[in-house]
Amino acid sequence: MAVTILAIESSCDDTSVAIIRDGYVLSNLIANQDIHMAYGGVVPELASRAHQANIVPVTHQAMIKADVKAEDIDAVAFTRGPGLLGSLLVGTSFAKGFALAQNIPLIEVNHLQAHVMAHFILEKDKNNRLPSFPFLCLLVSGGHTRIIIMKSHLEMEVIGNTIDDAAGEAFDKCGKVMGFTYPAGPLIDKLAGTGNKNAFRFAKPHVKGLDFSFSGLKTSFLYFLRDSLKEDPDFIEHNKADLCASLQHTIISILISKVITASLQTGIKEIGIAGGVSANSGLRNEMKTEAEKRKWNLFIPAFSLTTDNAAMIGITAYYKYQRGQFAGHDIAPLARY
């Protein structure tokens, strides 16, 4: 019998609801919160209020789009963490209420695992090439930078982690210094397209093993701009594209060098990228070049599945459903999972 799952994602500033049937996405809607742009980052209290306003209409629309009624749903999945506690609470409470009203099971999902599991989402009329295990995935988002080995759909091992900022934070914080609104990653990506990636050089960290560090780069970028602005007050305006291209290139080379090391150390050539920063065109292209050179079987997610979305929560829940991994109603969200 078909298994239909309603999935809720509310860990940060996007309210997303998806309907997944037997691993296929029937709908995956996202309500973005533009309110944070003016503040240069996500304001937790505003985020949870916006989730409260959005969650019912987004769920309603997701059900209409999927042509699914409440009675057709077999389980409700939600992001338990990591994320902003107030935001997570909205999704968790809504999921509990829905599950209770329909008398169906509740499934909790780890947001980070879900980003990697986005590679297992099936889409109608697509060729749906899926990774095999072990699968090595670089997870790069606004809050996390990790190298993860998936041993099976539900078993993951973190083999590398950032010791300070995440890659997305490096994009966002350096963008803020250049006067860009939050999140700055997409604009930097766009401007980098017309810039020279070798125009400027910024400090690269020396972190042992498979861990990452981005706070030094942020400082190096800040000091470089401070000095340059003394000589030319319009330095940023005059060099925007080159600054973006050079910064992006530095971030990408830090990321890719660790993926290469991880692949060599583990012998895994089944490789993917996931998370918001995996939408970056430079990262996608350079990963493709590296994959050809090193004979990797590379997996790059569709743009719609890179940033936070509920389809990735739904696909993870689908595998948990098959194993009967349900949550009790006393479950609480976890800011740090």
Q: How many CB atoms lie within 10 A of CB 323?
A: 9
Q: Strands 4-9, 15-21: parallel, antiparallel or unpaired by DSSP?
A: antiparallel
Q: Considering the rule CB under 6 A, would residue 171 count as an interface residue with ligand KG4?
A: yes
Q: What, of ligand KG4, Zn ion, none, does residue 183 touch, CB below 5 to 8 Å by kind?
A: ligand KG4
Nearest to 220 by CA among 242, 205, 233: 205
Q: Considering the rule CB under 6 A, would residue 301 count as an interface residue with ligand KG4?
A: no
Cα–Cα distance for residue pair 126/262, rounded to 1 Å:
30
Q: Considering the rule CB under 5 A, would residue 306 count as an interface residue with Zn ion?
A: no
Q: Considering the rule CB under 6 A, would residue 44 count as an interface residue with ligand KG4?
A: no
Cα–Cα distance for residue pair 281/333, rounded to 1 Å:
33
Q: Residues 88, 136, 308, 315: which binds Zn ion (CB under 5 A)?
A: 308
Q: Which C-beta is closer to ligand KG4: that of 105 or that of 276?
A: 276
Residues contacting residue 44 through CB under 8 Å, at least 6 positions apart = 84, 85, 86, 87
DSSP for 229-275, please give it: HHH-TTHHHHHHHHHHHHHHHHHHHHHHHHHHHHHHHH---EEEEES
Q: Residues 30, 279, 287, 311: which binds ligand KG4 (CB under 6 A)?
A: 279
Nearest to 15 by CA among 63, 60, 47: 47
Q: Considering the rule CB under 6 A, would residue 280 count as an interface residue with ligand KG4?
A: yes
Q: Considering the rule CB under 5 A, would residue 141 count as an interface residue with Zn ion?
A: yes
CB 4 to Zn ion: min, Å: 24
Q: Which of residues 253-282 bind Zn ion (CB under 5 A)?
A: none
Q: Which C-beta is closer to Zn ion: that of 182 or that of 221?
A: 182
Q: What, of Zn ion, ligand KG4, none, does residue 185 touch, CB below 5 to 8 Å by kind?
A: ligand KG4
Q: Residues 12, 73, 191, 262: which binds ligand KG4 (CB under 6 A)?
A: 12
CB 196 to ligand KG4: min, Å: 18
Q: Which C-beta is closer to Zn ion: that of 105 or that of 143?
A: 143
Angle at 103 between CA 100 and CA 107, to 5 degrees: 75
Q: Considering the rule CB under 6 A, would residue 10 count as an interface residue with ligand KG4?
A: no
Q: Considering the rule CB under 6 A, would residue 136 count as an interface residue with ligand KG4?
A: no
Q: What, of Zn ion, ligand KG4, none, does residue 279 touch, CB below 5 to 8 Å by kind?
A: ligand KG4
- Residue 181 is classified by DSSP as P
| Residue range at the interface with ligand KG4 (CB under 6 A); choices 36-44, 93-101, 273-281, 293-301 | 273-281
User: In the β-sheet with 4-9, what is the strand arrangement from edge to edge?
Assistant: 24-31, 15-21, 4-9, 75-81, 106-110
Tokens, residue 155: 């078993």
x/- site string to ligand KG4, residues 140 to 169, per CB under 6 A?
A: -xxx------------------------x-
Cα–Cα distance for residue pair 139/161, rounded to 1 Å:
9
Q: Residues 108, 172, 242, 270: which binds ligand KG4 (CB under 6 A)?
A: 172
Q: Do residues 221 and 202 lie in contact, with contact meaning Cβ atoms separated by under 8 Å? A: yes
Q: Which C-beta is closer to ligand KG4: that of 189 or that of 242?
A: 189
Strand stretches in the chain, DSSP E: 4-9, 15-21, 24-31, 75-81, 106-110, 135-140, 145-152, 155-161, 270-274, 297-299
Cα–Cα distance for residue pair 7/104, rounded to 1 Å:
13
Residues at the interface with Zn ion (CB under 5 A): 141, 308
Interface residues with ligand KG4 (CB under 6 A) are 12, 141-143, 168, 171-172, 183-186, 189, 275-277, 279-280, 307-308
